[in-house]
Amino acid sequence: MAIEGYVLGFDFGLKFIGLAVGQTVTKTAGGLKTLKARNGKPNWAEITSILQEYKPAAIVVGLPLNMDESESDMSVKARKFAQEIERRSGIAVQMMDERLSSWTANEVTRDTVRGGEIHEKSACLILESWFNELD
């Protein structure tokens, strides 16, 4: 069954969580916002509000694996974050390998992006990678 509609992508971090929104028809993503977090814990009311506004057909969370594809401490935390979004939204969350997404976002936008926008760009790259996997 094909997924159609909006898709939300999250770049999980301990201090900041990047958020992007994409469309399955165009397979493009745009940065939505950067959420503040305390030790990986976001303002869940803010995420719930975003979920209610966009009513996503799918949710994607970046999975920060080590370069050898093994799990890291951050990947364990990202999985817990994804499980909590799934529990709160009732939407199955899909994990997407995000190795190098933050580095790529930094390189691509080094002179044009400031502050929290780098997290949004990372979320865009995660979402666009997920769209490419659908083909």
Residue ranges and CATH numbers for the domains of the chain are: 6-134 (3.30.420.140)
* Distance separating alpha carbons of residues 72 and 63, to the nearest angstrom: 9
Tell me the percentage of the chain whose pLDDT exceeds 70: 85
Q: What angle do CA 60, 90, 125 make, to 5 degrees?
A: 10
Task: Please tell me the pTM assigned to this model.
Answer: 0.87
Instruction: Output the average pLDDT for the chain.
Output: 87
pLDDT tens digits for range 64-76: 988 888 888 999 9
Is the pLDDT at 38 greater than 80, yes or no?
yes
Is the pLDDT at 113 greater than 70, yes or no?
no
The residue among 57, 70, 59, 67 whose CA lies nearest residue 12 is 59
